[in-house]
A and B are shown apart, each in its own frame.
Chain A
Amino acid sequence: MTAITKHRLFWPAAILAVMLLANLIFTPTFFRIELKNGHLYGSLIDILLYGAPLILIALGMTMVIATGGIDLSVGATVAISGALACSIIADQPDQEAVGGVLTAVALALGLSLVLGLWNGLLVARVGIQPIIATLILMVAGRGVAQLITDGQIITINSAPYELIGGDYLFGFPFAVLIAVVVFTGTAVLTRRTALGLLLEAVGGNAEASRLVGIRARRLLVLAYVFSAFCAGIAGLMISSNIRAADGNNAGLWIELDAILAVVIGGTSLMGGRFSLAGTVLGALIIQTLSTTIYTTGVPPQVTLVFKAVVVTAVCLIQSPAFRAKAFRRRRPSAPAPAEAEVPA
């Protein structure tokens, strides 16, 4: 029993399970998944579909945070990527053409990589603190997105583009498939090769890792490029989901949700270690929380307070120090040395 509760994914998983079960009380049909118009339909599918962009961004964020950095610019990258793809498609004579859509997607992702490279070079080569380096793009990026869309919302009608974030492949949301592929790819690359270990080494102590022969700077740049790439894909999903590019609102504050997802998932903001599965759980917890608010009818005026209370509770439950205290108070006679010895 204690072996299970001590697994580092136990608490995020337990919290997610409790949240989903709580929904069952308010919405008896919450777990029902049915086929509608040839695709899966249900609350759980919605959570996965709307959670997919957040999962992607949080995966990228995990890599950056593992190196001891942070990437505040992902929300702006989301806006830029969606804006560029939609404006290219809107300019084409035939919006349904697969070739045109692929070009738009490739250019948008290409631009995202450039944005990531910019962040990476500022952090690794120029030596600016990550929070400041990425803050530059966070603030300026939304302006760039507005520039691309000319301040308008660009509406497009393109079935191939809609597939990315709003349509279904063999009845399953395509966006979720993308997220699964990126997750699996990242997990294999970081955990089946030495890459993950090297990233953690850089996050633990960049100078020491350089001295033992790790190319710390190159890894740092790589982490920011990967983060921007993930954000770029998320931007395509978000704009594709509503068939429109909204330079001002797409991905607004999503960087904060992503950081929260990473932290809830058990990755330390100090860098040096990370958990990809934890990040996915964290992102799903946040999306489930949003869905819960809509379906249970929490009044809009108190939504933010409700979120704050839940997030605080989630963080407290995950804290070994807090659990040890709460545990001791309930059962004063029970000794809790084993609990205290577990490193955070």
Chain B
Amino acid sequence: MLKKLSAALAAGLLASVLAACGGGGEDTASGGEAGSGKIVLGFSQVGSESGWRAANTKSVKDSAATAGIDLKFSDAQQKQENQIASIRSYIQQKVDVIAFSPVVVTGWDAVLKEAQAAKIPVILTDRAVDSDASLYATFIGSDFVKEGEEVGKWALEEFKSATGPVNIVQLEGTVGSAPAIDRKKGFEATIASNPNLKVIASQSGDFTRAKGKEVMQALLQANPKIDLLFAHNDDMGLGAIEAIKAAGLKPGTDIKIATIDAVKDGMTALAANEINFIAECSPLLGEQLMELTKKAAAGEPLEKRIVTKETTFTPQQAAEVLSTRQY
């Protein structure tokens, strides 16, 4: 008797759960487009490792509000598994478009295929992946190789009259991340044309100020003569400036410094001649992203690669634009 009753109960429960699932699925599917009339964008950010990233996040959030797009935002805190989990949750929530800045380059095939099977277009922002291009709608972001090349060109120009060897140390970004790989590639390929320019040490500073300082301090101990520091972002450069000062040297004079990003703190140091050159990597891609989101949600075809507009800065240029800098 009891057994039968519980079996019946279980069957009833199961049926109601199944019904709920089916019903819920239909609801959100129609609710996403027709219900509220708002496009839903699921965005997974890398983390907030730097001032640049904070500006990027703010740009995405502000632009979404202006464009009337319902933004679901999550922070992966530098971990790929977090990011994959949040993308999966967006797929389950049946958002209209998914956008994310991949933490690392590899390992995205499975989750991208899941999104494709659910017919949700995926937009990559700021960083690329090594998956097949058919798996995502478009990739909007900076050309990291070009940024590295810009710094390389500046270094060639700066040290063109050098007769002896020019010792370069490089502070790389997070190991395995697209900007770290590409900036290194672009920079090292460009300076190869002058055999005097040599990278004597290259270590990862994880894109953070604290690591930048700690690593630079150690590199200064190990290498008595450093002519140029190339940091893959402003924050590591700013940390390194502290280390150089602690070593009794003058940043920007005794050791030339070139970085990438052009965030406000970096530009302030550039204007003060503590940094000598910055190649911009603009985080303000929110507006472009929202346009692409609308197009993708409407099913329009998108160009596979969209490059954000960027420039380079010398100390004089930095001093001029510093007051109008948004981030």
Q: Which residues of A contact B (CB under 8 A)?
A: 26-27, 29-30, 36-37, 41-43, 46, 50, 142, 146, 151-153, 155, 166, 238, 241-244, 246-250, 290-291, 293-297, 299-301, 303
Interface centre among A36, A241, A242, A246 (most CB of B within 10 A): A242
From A295, A300, A301, contact of B218 by CB (8 A) = A295
- Select which of B48, B222, B235, B242 is within 8 A of A151 by beta carbon: B48
Shortest C-beta distance, A302 to chain B (Å), equals: 9
| In the complex, residue of chain A having the shortest beta-carbon distance to the beta carbon of B173 | A300
Q: Are A30 and B247 in contact (CB under 8 A)?
A: no
Whether B219 lies near A294 (C-beta < 8 A) is: yes
- The answer to whether B77 and A151 touch across the interface, beta carbons within 8 angstroms, is no
Q: Are B175 and A37 in contact (CB under 8 A)?
A: no
**Complex interface: stretch among B20-28, B105-113, B116-124, B196-204:** B196-204
Judged by a CB distance under 8 angstroms, whether B265 is at the interface is yes
Give Cα distance in the complex from A300 to B246, angstroms. Answer: 24
The interface size bin for chain B is 35 or more
Tell which of B172, B202, B208 has the most Cβ of chain A within 10 Å. Answer: B208
Whether A300 pairs with B204 at a CB distance below 8 angstroms is yes
Contacting pair B210 A242 (CB below 8 A): yes
Task: Say yes or no: A300 contacts B210, CB within 8 Å.
Answer: no
Using an 8 Å CB-CB cutoff, how does the interface string of B217-237 with A read, 1 for contact, 0 for none? Answer: 111011010000000000100
Task: Report whether A27 and B48 are in contact in the complex, using a CB–CB cutoff of 8 Å.
Answer: no
Q: Report the bound CA distance from A246 to B235 in whole Å.
A: 11
In the assembled complex, B257 has its CB within 8 A of some CB on chain A: no
Stretch of B34-42, B50-58, B140-148 at the chain-chain interface: B50-58
| A303 vs B205: C-alpha distance when bound (angstroms) | 12
Q: CB of B214 within 8 A of chain A?
A: yes
Select which of A36, A246, A290 is within 8 A of B209 by beta carbon.
A246
A–B Cβ pairs within 8 angstroms, 18 of them: A27-B221, A27-B222, A41-B246, A43-B221, A50-B214, A151-B57, A153-B50, A166-B242, A241-B210, A242-B242, A244-B209, A246-B210, A249-B49, A249-B210, A250-B210, A294-B215, A294-B219, A300-B203
- A-B complex: 8 closest residue pairs judged by Cβ atoms: A294-B218, A300-B204, A295-B222, A36-B248, A242-B209, A43-B221, A248-B48, A249-B208
- What's the least CB distance linking B45 to chain A, in Å? 10
CB within 8 A of B54: which of A151, A241, A295? A151
Contact of A142 (CB < 8 Å), options: B77, B224, B246: B77
| Chain A neighbourhood of B247, CB < 8 A | 36, 41
Q: Counting CB contacts under 8 A, is B94 at the interface?
A: no
- Known contacts A41-B246, A294-B218, A295-B218; is-contact A248 B49 (Cβ 8 Å): yes
Give the distance in Å from the alpha carbon of A294 to the alpha carbon of B57 in the complex. 32
Please give, as numbers and ranges, the residues of chain B lying within 8 Å of A300 by CB-CB distance: 172, 175, 202-204
Nearest neighbor of A251 in chain B, beta-carbon distance: B210
Chain B's closest residue to A37 (CB) is B248
A294 to chain B: closest residue by CB:
B218
Contact A238:B210 (CB < 8 A) given known A146-B48, A151-B48: yes
- Find A297's partner among B50, B77, B201, B235 (CB 8 Å cutoff): B201
* Distance (whole angstroms) from the CB of A184 to the closest CB of chain B: 26
Which residues on the B side are within 8 Å of A296 (C-beta)? 222
Asked if B315 lies at the interface with its beta carbon under 8 angstroms from chain A, I say no
Which residues of the partner chain A approach B208 to less than 8 Å between Cβ atoms?
Answer: 246, 249
CA distance A146 to B77 in the complex (A): 11
Complex CA gap A301/B50 in Å reads 22
CA distance A30 to B246 in the complex (A): 17
Contacts of A290 in B (CB 8 A): 214
From B219, which residue of chain A is reached at the shortest CB distance?
A294
Asked if B256 is an interface residue, CB under 8 A from chain A, the answer is no
B159: shortest Cβ distance to chain A, in Å?
A: 22
Q: How far is the CB of A240 from chain B (nearest CB, A)?
A: 11
By a CB distance below 8 angstroms, the chain A residues around B265 are 153, 155
A sample of 13 more A-B contacts (CB under 8 A), given A50-B217, A246-B208, is A27-B221, A29-B224, A41-B247, A42-B221, A152-B51, A153-B54, A238-B210, A242-B238, A242-B242, A293-B203, A294-B214, A296-B222, A297-B201
Query: Which residue, A46, A151, A294, has most C-beta atoms of chain B within 10 A?
Result: A294
B168-214 residues with Cβ-Cβ distance < 8 A to A are: 172, 175-176, 201-204, 206, 208-210, 213-214
**Is the CB of B239 closer than 8 A to any CB of chain A?**
yes
Closest to B215 in A: A294
Q: Which residues of A contact B50 (CB under 8 A)?
A: 153
Q: For residue A200, give the distance in angstroms from its CB to the closest CB of chain B.
A: 35
Residue of B77, B176, B204, B218 near A46 (CB, 8 A) is B218
Asked if B218 contacts A303 (CB within 8 A), the reply is no
Instruction: Give the docked Cα–Cα distance between A296 and B201 (Å).
Output: 9
A218 to B51, CA, bound (A): 43
User: Chain A's nearest CB lies how many Å from the CB of B176?
Assistant: 8
Does B47 lie at the interface of the complex (its beta carbon under 8 Å from any beta carbon of A)? yes
* Closest chain A residue, CB of each to CB of B235: A153
Q: Which A residue sits closest to B175, measured CB to CB?
A: A300
